[in-house]
Amino acid sequence: MDMSVFDLFKIGIGPSSSHTVGPMVAARRFLLECGSLENAIGVEAHLYGSLALTGIGHATDKAVILGLMGETPQDIDPDSVEDRLAEAELDGVIKLLGTKEVPFTQKANLVWHKASTLPEHPNGMRFVLQLRDGSLIERVYYSVGGGFITAAGESQARAEQAPAVDIPFPFATMQQLLDQGRQHGLSIPHMLRANELARMTEAELDAGLDRIWAVMRDCIAHGLVTDGQLPGGLNVKRRAAKLWKAAHCDLGNRINELPHDSTHQVTLYAMAVNEENAAGGRVVTAPTNGAAGIIPAVVRYYAEDCRPSDAVAGIRVFLLTAAAIGMLCKKNASISGAEVGCQGEVGVACAMAAAGLVAALGGSNERVENAAEIGIEHHLGMTCDPIGGLVQIPCIERNGMGAIKAITAASLALKGDGTHFVSLDNVIETMRQTGADMQVKYKETSLGGLAVHVITVNHAAC
């Protein structure tokens, strides 16, 4: 498997990796692949399947426009988005890749195909560039989860891989990783580190991992002090900041010392991140935006509550190990809610966090596998049914619950001897098959589950 830890952990903006980050990347890639834009006179974006059905709630429209402007998820200032979009809509023009000005309005140039799905994935999009001589350049792309995209006919394996390099510990299954660990006497994070060092220097790797944690940490911190109402029309109030304050001080301004406070705080860490995500803030895709709160919450729990002797080194071990689990899930099943439901997002993030925590606490490879397997097993069949197509209900609380499940899975694995009945490879395959069997209305279309049993705003006119 030639995938990097930085493929799994991407710095971007909310609210969705598949519906926001992926479409932004695809729109920009389309124009770059068109070559010269000198003769361009117009552009259209056509959205299909899940992108069309829940695109408004997931800010797909905004993402596509920003991508056409040449913006990238990792570099754009989240605070500038609304003003830039409002200005473009008012003027009725956008600058393609920031250079070529063409007419553009959302009503005329964004087309939502809610009753159609393109053949290769539920998250399909088609871009059309109109040239002065009357000819068209047209391309189809798919947003396949976690911010990954593919062009039509391009294999996911090719599109998702880092540039091909000879890595010392190739693996396609957990069993292969375990076998190599036994053969060479190495831990999973040690082998993942060696693979990354085939692509970059030690300093580059550590700086990248530290940067990922810094963005995660800052996202938690910002979410724990920011209140107000989330955008989108559901009128959902942020809760993490208020609950965080209440968890630390009672009316007499004394520190709360209830026995469950540490786990309550973990829940709030995760909720804080996903409230930031729902508001379109800066987050790390881990492995998706919809599940972005789980790993940061468990990493902070490790750094502050587990009292490691070297938190910096432990966090790097945590992230490398978590990435290994994410790679296996991505390769052998899916991390796309539109493809397999929320088991592929929150379930995978829980497994990644559980495995990372076990490794950071010195657990064996077998215990790492056990923790990851528990994390996924107890999310099997979880649907993706966001109310109003927004990454808010049940997504925000679901991250808090997923973080607690990850800690529980890690605890169970660490207290065992590493032997267990169900292998991680088996449970990943089960997740894939469960996703294939799941009805489409439960896979990020907002056509079933909570999304249709709760009265919500009507996005049909958007």
Query: Can you tell me the distance from the alpha carbon of 176 to that of 18, in angstroms, rounded to the nearest whole number?
Result: 29
pLDDT digits (tens, 9 = 90+) for 407-435: 999 999 999 999 999 999 999 999 999 99
Residue 160 lies in a domain: no
Q: How far apart are CA 67 and CA 48, in angstroms?
A: 17
In a domain, 269, yes or no: yes
Amino acid 461: pLDDT: 36
Q: Note whether 122 and 202 are same-domain residues.
A: no
The pTM score is: 0.92
How many CB atoms are located within 10 Å of the residue 375 CB?
30
What would the pLDDT profile of 14-67 be if each residue is shown by its tens digit?
Answer: 999 999 999 999 999 999 999 999 999 999 999 999 999 999 999 999 999 999
Write the CATH number for 103.
Answer: 3.30.1330.90
In the chain, % of residues over pLDDT 90: 90
Q: Residue 163: inside a domain, yes or no?
A: no
pLDDT on residue 458 = 43
Q: Report the number of distinct structural domains present in the chain.
A: 2
Q: Do 279 and 207 belong together in one domain? A: yes
Q: What is the pLDDT of residue 161?
A: 47
225 pLDDT tier (thresholds 50, 70, 90)? very high
| pLDDT above 50 for 460 | no
d(C-alpha 392, C-alpha 390), whole Å: 5
Does 459 score more than 50 pLDDT? no
Q: What's at 152, amino acid-wise?
A: A
Average pLDDT score, the chain:
93
Q: What's the CATH code of the domain at 237?
A: 1.10.4100
Q: What is the pLDDT of residue 98?
A: 96
136 and 178 assigned to the same domain: no
Residue 137 shares a structural domain with residue 193: no
Residues 318, 428, single domain; the answer is yes
Instruction: Note whether residue 60 is domain-resident.
Output: yes
For residues 88 and 232, membership in a common domain is answered with: no
Cis? peptide before 231, omega within 30° of 0: no
Q: What is the pLDDT of residue 293?
A: 98
- The verdict on 229 and 279 lying in the same domain is yes
Range of the domain at 54: 19-143
Average pLDDT over residues 226-234: 94
Q: Is 441 exposed, middle or buried (0-12, 13-18, 19+ CB in 10 A)?
A: middle
Is 275 a domain residue? yes
